[in-house]
Chains A and B, each alone.
Chain A
């Protein structure tokens, strides 16, 4: 009798605990859902606030005059708000950057995936990651000091701050994106295609050019689109070298004319505009236009890549998003159009020696086409592809050595531990170093829990469906948003609307929103890498979902999550645009007392030194070097962790 009572009691107890744990599971799930949905909310808020502040200008000027007006003169006696020259400037800079970057990147990608020996590959890949890790303000600084000077001397013009300089610099910045994505696309072409082609007796180059590259074409297209997205959204580098005259080049192909992009306009004018004025509203109008352009670009790239991934996993869905036949039928047109453009350029604009050279090359090609053996074509092609890789490497070396050699003399104990004097010409950068660390640590402290929570929700709690689709689109949109747009949003929403003021906190939140997609993605990746059998093993023992996640799934995923977090810190540390209007001051002798005070930051300090303070040469280079080392240091730690644990799991 007694024992029976006990048993009853037990079952009641276990029923209660079961209910309690069920409730707990429900609560946990809801919390994760909220973190995941935050990405969507942020996107909506960004759109709302840009539109709210930008709307008046569309009302006053009208959409068409705003978009197609020929003059941008916001501070004139009778201000004009036509952004057409800015749109054209953005397009031209992007076009130039792609003309330079696309052939170089594809050549380099082919070299890495097909020709490089494993050892060379191991050296090249980190080099390209390094190129991606250099902060844009450091690129801008290098461009301003070295590149524009080079152009000024070479072309004998009065100023090197030109369309050409902007395109070259942004082309370099787009290289790592295009190289890594297209290398990935070429490497993941099934090995059987390669064997099949070689077994027929095709040369390696024929196999590459006629089988591998065509099979990877949509991946390469996505890579180029992502590169374009990067270029269109770039602010700091372009504003430092483009000359920023709001004109359409005259004639249109005059690459030595200064241009002004949409992003540069925001970067230059946002700091000086009076809040609530027509000009202020026009700047937000520009941000809306910019956001729409970059979103369209990035979403199309994401769509292509996602489709490819699905095609790779399920054989039935091999049909590409853009039908292969369509791409291929477009090729002859593209070729013809390219030829016509080149001819026009040669006839109208090019100097005579270039025309002669091109005609000569064309003549040789026409003559030699059918007379040269495949072997020789292969040798020439391999040389060109190798040259592309070499050029990319050389660019990296040139930039690094310039900054290291000129920056090292500035580095001293005093430089690292003293506040700046004489507008940064003398003294140190201590407050800027501390400010940057405060900013990124705060940003990651905010972004990490939110991002990890969102990733856990996406991977562990839901099946793919409508909700995940919405959330993923939100993350993609956030990822494609230019950093200057985050800056404007942070200013309008956090600084003004929430009345936080220009402060450390506002900067931290803005940066956190910016790196959120990176954290979500890397966490998602590392969670997906945990084998399903582990989860099943735990669930089969009667563990709840949360127990399984917290004890079985997350521990082995920690290295991946940490890597993602450190990469995000590195990225945040180098950013200028998002903190420019939300968190920083140029000169401060003191460290902030609370999170409601503004701070100094390395990237912004470098930007001001480089553009507004003449005669601070050593300290500029010193600041650039410290910033570079800081960012690269974060990346290096992340890479070391990644390789360490990758080797470990491989055993």
Chain B
């Protein structure tokens, strides 16, 4: 998937949210205000297109904190270049999603 990939506004919004450090499904939902039925299928599409990749949190961390492990998403190289192209197309995205201060692995 090249940098010229044109994303819908929703997909670009989700990509920007992940890039900003909202790296699991519910945080993306909270940040974008989109419902789970939109966010998750969109993330599946982005992952299918190679713009993001997912990784399960280490079991040991989750066990220590007595909670189930979460699935984290991060941008791939193709995802980053696609996001740059999308930000030119949707300049307001930059302002809509601030950078998350707490970055997860």
User: Do the two chains belong together in a single complex?
Assistant: no
